[in-house]
């Protein structure tokens, strides 16, 4: 009976990713020759060369690349199966992998996640905060993310999207800026002001007003980071258009004042929790239900007196 190739899958995947027998050997605590023998056995069993071997690097052949991609999927499925079995227990356990936009994650997801982890101490979480989009459908990231939080329209209908909260943006400026430059009373007057805007394609609904006018055309500052735009507005550099979940604290302490409230086109963007239906587990479902309850009355929309924050423009 031929030896199963299953024990060698993880080793092969690691070799392709590390491009080194020695690095993989150090990881497993064995000699490099032991790792090389496992790859030799795998190639013999498959009757196909999987790696181009040189003195400088290891590269997968065409067959090796195909085998690598399928092996990654198989290993991910095995890991998810193990996690699912663990999560069927009364108390969720195992590893839960998440990613989330960095500003929202720091300000709002972490308090919720901390409360969830305190409730389930046997659960371990791997959280990646990023401003880039991670693919939940395929590839390395797709095999490692259980839940992703996204803000804005969801185009991939193959994912299960759960709405956690709507999003609302406001035009904002510091009192110092308004004292120096005056307060715009109409959309047209924004052209006379210094505006701070997103670098790259504007998020849906950003700077969009009745008549489908989208501003600013010539912003004073362009930046690809929302927290940096917030900081610029706090320093009096100009008018910014940002979501209330990012700016509520500044509005509540009077560091930013809302402008032209009610003149912007209502935004349809929402904060979603995304998952793949095939990758769902009890612990994932429990987390999403927890987040739905946590964000049902979002803290950034409530002031100390329970009223909506930042809307007093009298």
Q: Rounded mean pLDDT of the chain?
A: 81
Q: What mean pLDDT do residues 239-262 have?
A: 93
pLDDT in tens, 6-22: 667 888 888 888 888 88
Residues above pLDDT 70, as percent of the chain: 80
- Give the model's confidence band at 253: pLDDT under 50 very low, under 70 low, under 90 confident, else very high: very high
Q: Which pTM value belongs to this model? A: 0.65
Quick: pLDDT tens for 39-65.
Answer: 888 888 888 898 888 777 788 899 889
178-223 pLDDT, tens per residue?
999 999 998 888 888 999 998 876 666 677 776 667 777 678 999 9
pLDDT number for residue 141: 39
Q: How far apart are CA 219 and CA 66, in angstroms?
A: 48
What's the pLDDT at 90? Answer: 59
Average pLDDT over residues 293-299: 89
- For residues 205 and 265, the answer to whether their CB atoms sit within 8 Å is yes
**pLDDT > 90? residue 248:** yes
More confident residue, 266 or 132: 266
């Amino acid at each position: 009976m031929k030896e199963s190739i299953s024990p060698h899958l993880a080793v092969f995947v690691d070799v392709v990713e590390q491009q080194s027998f020695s690095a993989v050997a150090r990881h497993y605590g064995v000699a490099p020759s032991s790792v090389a023998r496992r790859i030799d056995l795998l190639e013999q069993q498959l009757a196909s060369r999987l790696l181009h071997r040189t003195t400088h690097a290891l590269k997968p052949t065409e067959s090796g690349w195909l085998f690598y991609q399928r092996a990654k999927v198989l290993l991910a499925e095995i890991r998810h199966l193990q996690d699912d079995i663990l999560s069927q227990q009364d108390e969720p356990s195992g590893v839960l992998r998440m990613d989330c936009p960095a500003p929202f994650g720091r300000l709002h997801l972490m308090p919720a996640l901390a409360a969830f982890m305190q409730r389930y101490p046997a659960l371990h979480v791997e959280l990646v905060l990023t401003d880039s989009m991670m693919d939940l459908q395929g590839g390395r990231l797709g095999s490692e993310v259980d839940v992703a939080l996204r803000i804005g329209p969801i185009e991939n209908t193959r994912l299960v999207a759960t709405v956690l909260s709507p999003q609302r943006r406001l035009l904002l400026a510091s009192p110092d800026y308004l004292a120096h430059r005056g307060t715009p009373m109409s959309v047209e007057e924004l052209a006379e002001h210094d505006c701070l805007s997103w670098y790259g394609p504007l998020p849906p609904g950003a700077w969009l007003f009745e008549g489908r006018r989208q501003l600013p055309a010539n912003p004073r500052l362009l930046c690809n980071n929302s927290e940096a735009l917030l900081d610029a507005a706090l320093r009096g550099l100009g008018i910014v258009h940002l979501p209330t979940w990012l700016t509520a604290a500044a509005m509540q302490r009077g560091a930013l004042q809302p402008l032209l409230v009610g003149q912007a086109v209502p935004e349809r963007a929402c904060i979603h929790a995304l998952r793949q239906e095939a990758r769902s587990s009890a612990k994932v479902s429990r987390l999403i239900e927890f987040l739905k309850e946590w964000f049902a009355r979002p803290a950034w929309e409530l002031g100390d007196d329970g009223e909506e924050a930042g809307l007093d423009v009298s």
